[in-house]
Amino acid sequence: MTSAQTLSSSSSPKRLPFLSWPLTRNDETAARVPAGDTSLRKHLAGSTYSIRMLRYWWVGQAIAEEAQRQGRPLRVLDVGCERGWLKYFTPEGAVESWVGLDWDVRSECLEHADYDEVLQANFDEPLPVASGTFDVVVNNHVMEHLPRPGSTMAEMSRALRMGGIFLGGSPTMPAWLAGLREWWLRRKLRLGRVAPGGHINCLSPRRWRGLMQDTGLQPEFVTGSHAVRFTGSSLENQRWWIRLNQFWGGLFPSLGSECYVRGRRQPAWVSQTQLNKAEDAHWRPFWVSLGGVAAVVVALLAWNAWQFVGGRGERQLQAWIAAHQEGADHFIVSHDASEAALGHRPDVRVADGLSDALILLRELPHAHLLVTESDLETLCHWDAAHELVIDSRLPRLLQDDLMLVRSGGGGTSLREYWFTDACPVKSTPTNGG
């Protein structure tokens, strides 16, 4: 048995666990691969070490370390076993039995890797295994494909015996960027641009910790695998290149391209709470009062913000009207919101509805009619003489686009601007006053 196949002796969690585990040469692993598994042999033939294959190597070493810690071979559940390649990277003597789960059961797991049992499973449903029966549960580069990682993690934790370990790995990136990427992936899934089984999650180190803690697993390490691959380059023949990548991954897990985690199943919680003594302080009135004060403060801040936003709209409207005031101009308004903002001005006339506003417009020389864009179609039908023109437009004020309309003079005619069956042309109005 080579040094790569001996069991690791360390049992305590480390910040950089990979650096203490012996690297396995590709030719040593290939010697354990049956001749019929040509796909894995091809991956191993290109270099002395393979950074891509580190995803299997680290799990094998972690299993071996746990077997050394327990002093016995372990029962392993490989969730997402695919072809069973993990078995070739696990030191001999570390595992008592291999059980594989996958949604697409591959014959290679039984014929080549010689798993003891391989079951078809939908990872979005309860797993077809008994509770508390495995020493190790592996989920290596599967979680990023699952629609509900939390429920799957809970099922994998259920399968572990108390004190057993979970080993997981996935592509990764910083938490803020992982959230954006997952939103983008889920959007592609909804649009039918990602087939079921594709990448639909992005798990940051922070999310991995949360998933473990939420399902009764105590994180023992969360680390990265490597910074860059350069697959097929001569660098993959150098031990120092592999170790340098692992050192980077350990220092910066979210920048390590792939993230790997180990968590240990905690004992079932047993309540030992005692009743509060009569003299114990009760802080509930304090917290209720503090919450009430906070609610009042938030309400006052919201009210002031609403008033500020509303006042800003009125100020914009007043400035817009003032910019169009020339000499004895009058402004006619017929809407409550406009009246509230401008009713105090001496040059503003308040009309009782749109028809009354048109009468005032014809009576007053140099008058401007202030209307919303939704009023223009009505005005277009009423403008039999084709004399109304758009004077100016102020977009998205008081919840609608506002228009200044006047009778006669230069500018874009109302009929040119607004498209109806009777007015077949619509163009952009001039913005001059």
* 225 plus 344 within the same structural domain: no
Q: Is residue 396 part of a domain?
A: yes
* 325 plus 260 within the same structural domain: no
* 187 plus 96 within the same structural domain: yes
Cβ–Cβ under 8 Å, residues 8 and 64? yes
Q: Is residue 364 part of a domain?
A: yes
Q: Is residue 15 part of a domain?
A: yes
* 169 plus 38 within the same structural domain: yes
Among 265, 284, 309, identify where a domain stops: 265
Q: What's the per-residue H, E or C state across 106-128?
A: CCHHHHCCCCCEEEECCCCCCCC
Q: Is 80 exposed, middle or buried (0-12, 13-18, 19+ CB in 10 A)?
A: buried
* 345 plus 248 within the same structural domain: no
Q: Is residue 202 part of a domain?
A: yes
Residue 260, helix vs strand vs coil: strand
* 373 plus 256 within the same structural domain: no
Q: Is residue 306 part of a domain?
A: no
Strand 258-265 versus strand 217-224 pairing type: antiparallel
Cα angle vertex 364, ends 360, 367, to 5°? 90
* 167 plus 246 within the same structural domain: yes
* 203 plus 336 within the same structural domain: no
- b/e per residue 386-405 (b: at least 16 CB within 10 A): eebbbbbbbeebbebebbbb
CA distance 63 to 225: 17
* 204 plus 327 within the same structural domain: no
CA distance 63 to 136: 7
Written as six digits, the tokens of 111 are 């014929």
Strand 74-79 versus strand 412-413 pairing type: unpaired
* 260 plus 353 within the same structural domain: no
Among 265, 290, 307, identify where a domain stops: 265
CATH at 381:
3.40.190
Q: How many domains does the chain have?
A: 2
What does each C-alpha distance from 117 to 120, 324, 357 come to in angstroms? 10, 84, 85
Look at residues 171, 134, 387 and name the one whose alpha carbon lies nearest to residue 265. Answer: 134
Q: Is residue 56 part of a domain?
A: yes
Domain limits at 404? 319-417
* 206 plus 349 within the same structural domain: no
Cβ–Cβ under 8 Å, residues 26 and 48? yes
CATH at 127:
3.40.50.150
Residue 2, helix vs strand vs coil: coil
Q: Is residue 60 part of a domain?
A: yes
Q: Is residue 428 part of a domain?
A: no
**Residue that the structure tokens 């391989």 belong to:** 118
Among 224, 241, 265, identify where a domain stops: 265
Q: How many CB atoms lie within 10 A of CB 116?
A: 14
Q: What is the pLDDT along the chain (433 residues), one digit of tens a residue?
A: 333 344 443 444 466 888 889 999 989 999 999 888 888 888 888 889 988 899 999 999 999 999 999 999 999 999 999 999 999 999 999 999 999 999 988 888 888 888 999 999 999 999 999 999 999 999 999 999 988 999 999 999 999 999 999 999 999 988 888 888 888 888 888 888 777 778 888 899 999 999 999 999 999 999 988 888 888 788 888 889 989 988 998 888 888 789 999 999 988 765 555 555 555 566 778 888 888 899 999 998 888 777 666 666 677 777 777 777 777 788 888 777 677 777 678 888 888 888 888 888 888 877 888 888 778 778 887 877 668 888 777 776 556 678 888 887 777 777 777 654 444 444 444 444 3
Rounded to an integer, what is the distance from CA 399 to the centroid of its chain? 32
CA distance 148 to 214: 14
